[in-house]
Amino acid sequence: MIIPASACIVQDKLGAVNAAAFDLEAGCTGFVYSVTIAAQFIATGAMKRILVVGSETLSKIINWEDRNTSVLFGDGSGAVVLGPVEQGEGVLASKLAAEGAGWEHLLVPAGGARIPASPLTLEQKLHYVHMNGKEVFRYAVRVMEEEALKMVKLAGLELSDIDLLIPHQANIRIIEHAAKKLNLPMDKVVVNVDRLGNTSSASIPLALDEAVKSGRIKKGDNILMVAFGAGLTSGGIVLKWS
């Protein structure tokens, strides 16, 4: 629903009666944005434990006659709990960015205040995802490399210090290009887009969960997460796994 925030419904179902709850919209970069914000709350002492959920049911807003989008996206949900850690562990650096001039390249045109729902918007299929794939691809290839390099520098690390890259799972060509530019072998990159598709804000927490369960992440590892999405938005996080 547009109102209320989904987080309030989740809070109620969990019985987390004292927890603040809000939604955050940053497209596929939503998880990185949310973890960055959550880390600030914890670092300042304002909150002790924060549940961050990235959840998408994109199949409900996909036009199955549009091959530019229907073969790409998947439904999924992933979550993490953040809390205080020892000095030098957890989030070492994070950076968020946006290029709002590209907002028209990936959007659901109707259903909000700009173009309210009507019989005409339904007829014109304006309640589905519309994407300019070439422009999004061009943006993604550039920012994945740029943001990753900035993140590593902000964390005071070298590329050789990164133990695992967990990128947004949008496109295997984008992921392989980023890994090549960062001089990271693919065995240091988590990939699940071939099985799950692009699950938007759920893609990084899902990939993180798979990496933890398969033993690819151990205490002390430096993890780099990079994402891009509608908005156009981008962002990255470097964390030392505790």
Residue-wise pLDDT tens digits, 21-53: 999 999 999 999 999 999 999 999 999 999 999
Residue-wise pLDDT tens digits, 4-14: 999 999 999 99
> Is 233's pLDDT higher than 90?
yes
> Is 223's pLDDT higher than 90?
yes
Q: Pull the structure tokens for residue 229.
A: 């999405």
Region 192-208: what's the mean pLDDT?
97
Q: Tell me which of 105, 171, 192, 198 is the catalytic residue.
A: 198
Concerning whether 8 is annotated as a catalytic residue, the answer is: no
pLDDT on residue 238 = 97
As assigned by CATH, the class of the 1-242 domain is alpha beta
Residue-wise pLDDT tens digits, 119-150: 999 999 999 999 999 999 999 999 999 999 99
Q: Please, which pLDDT band fits residue 237 given cuts at 50, 70 and 90?
A: very high
Q: Tell me which of 28, 105, 171, 192 is the catalytic residue.
A: 28
| Residue of 155, 201, 154 whose CA lies nearest to 35 | 201
Distances in Å between the Cα of 181 and the Cα atoms of 97, 108, 142, 145, 226 are: 20, 32, 10, 7, 14
Residue-wise pLDDT tens digits, 56-113: 999 999 999 998 899 999 999 999 999 999 999 999 999 999 999 999 999 999 999 9
Concerning whether 63 is annotated as a catalytic residue, the answer is: no
pLDDT on residue 1 = 87
pLDDT on residue 2 = 87
Residue-wise pLDDT tens digits, 110-126: 999 999 999 999 999 99
Q: Tell me which of 105, 168, 171, 192 is the catalytic residue.
A: 168
Concerning whether 198 is annotated as a catalytic residue, the answer is: yes
pLDDT on residue 192 = 96
Domain ranges for the chain: 1-242
Please report, as a single letter, which amino acid is at residue 236.
G
